[in-house]
Structure formats: C-alpha cells, structure tokens
Structure 1
Amino acid sequence: MPFLGLQRQLGIDLDSWLLRQSAAQPHGKAGACHAFEREWVECGHGLGQTRARRECQPEYEDFMECMHRTKLAARLKKILDQRDKMIKEGKYTPPDYQKSQEEPRP
C-alpha cells in the first residue's frame, strides 16, 4: 500500500500492520493464508474499492475459505450425512476401529 513511496522513505512497513497474515508469526514462518491474502491485495491494488470488489472476487473467496474453511465444513457435513444415511439403510457398516465405543476402564 505505498503512498508516494512514503513508507520506503520513512523506513516503516504499514502492510505488516494492515494485513492479517503479515503480522509476526511464531518461528518466523508466514501465516497459513498469507499467500491468499497477498494475492487478494495485489489484485485490488490501484483498482479502487468498487472495481476491486468485482474483479478480485475469486481471490477474496479463496482467502476467506482459507481463513474460515466454510466450504470444507459444508462438504464434510454432506459426507457424514451420506454415511449416516447409508448406515440406516444397511448399505454400509463402519469398521470396528471407527465405532465410538469406550474401552472398559480397569
């Protein structure tokens, strides 16, 4: 987010303050969604808010999916619902190690 090269002249980096994944991370490694956030910011840089919302929608959706995992959770729910449906119909029996039975305590 350069503003007439002011960041470089003053020797500060506002991007690390403004970007969620650019903040200091443990062990000096980049955040898990850093690449997606960077793509989204680079796409929208210089376009203006209205145009960036329209043109950078895929990058934004990728970033939000990486952060919140909503599509992954919905897919997992469908898979588990299908498994439960198949168990009710008798078409599938889970292996012994998947059955949620507690082990007897001594």
Structure 2
Amino acid sequence: MPFWDLQRQLGIDVDRWMLRQSTAQPHGNASACHAFEREWVECGHGLGQTRARRECVPEYEDFMECMHRTKLAARLKAILEQRDKMIKAGKYTPPDYHKGKEEPRP
C-alpha cells in the first residue's frame, strides 16, 4: 500500500474500470447484475478472447439479459398482444380494476 493513495485522492479507480457492476454501489450492496458479470469474467479468464467468445456465450447472454431485459420485454409484449387478441375475439374480459373502474378506497 503506497504512502499516498493517489487513486483515492483523485477519485479514480484504475483497477475496476472495465467492470460495470464492480464499482462502488450505494449503501455498500452489490449491484443486481454483479453475479452474472462475475460468472462471465471468471469463465473467460485465462482462455483468451477468441476461445472466450465461443465458450462463454451462455454466461454473456445471462449478463446481457440482466442488464437490458430484452427477453423479458419481448415476452411481455407477446403476452399483451395475446391478451388484446383475446379481448377482441370476446374470449376474455379484463376485471374492473384493470379498466380503472374499481370502487374508491377509503
């Protein structure tokens, strides 16, 4: 440990600049996708870039899904389209509290 901690004094952290989820988080808790990023980095560690791109695809996809929620958004969109299709066909009627017609609360 150096006598003057220059990185802390300047407010930079050169050691963690590559990892998005490893930076200091509020209240000291780990970020939501930290575990997925860690698995991805551990998978690719020591393999080299070419092999890691081939062999660590599941870990990378899990990390990207946690970060961007693309699969979740696509699934939600499909569910809502199916609901709208069923409403149009008359096979489903949403409850009153989904229509905004519920009784007022005290």
* TM-score of Structure 1 vs Structure 2, range by shorter chain: 0.7 to 0.9
Q: Secondary structure in 2 aligned to 1:91?
A: coil
Q: Which amino acid aligns with 2:86?
A: M
Aligned residues: 90
Amino acid paired to 2:79: I
Residues 75-90 of structure 1 mapped to structure 2, 5 A cutoff: 75-90=75-90
Gaps of 5+ in 2: 1-12, 102-106
Q: Which runs of no fewer than 5 residues in structure 1 stay unpaired?
A: 1-11, 102-106
Aligned to 1:18: 18
What does the per-residue CA deviation read over 1:5-49, in whole Å, with 9 as the maximum and x for residues that have no partner? xxxxxxx871x3221000000000000000000000000000000
Aligned twin of 1:45: 45
CA distance in 1, matches of 2:55, 2:100: 47
Query: Tell me, what secondary structure is at the counterpart of 2:17?
Result: helix
Ranges of 4+ aligned residues in structure 1 off by more than 6 Å: none
Report 1:46-65 matches (<5 A): 46-65=46-65
Identical positions, percent: 83
The root-mean-square deviation of aligned C-alpha atoms, in Å, is 1.7
Q: Aligned-pair distance for 1:100?
A: 4.4
Q: Give the distance between the partners of 2:72 and 2:59, measured in 1 at CA.
A: 17
- TM-score calculated relative to the size of structure 1: 0.80
1:52 is paired with a residue of what secondary structure? helix
Tell me which residue corresponds to 2:70: 70
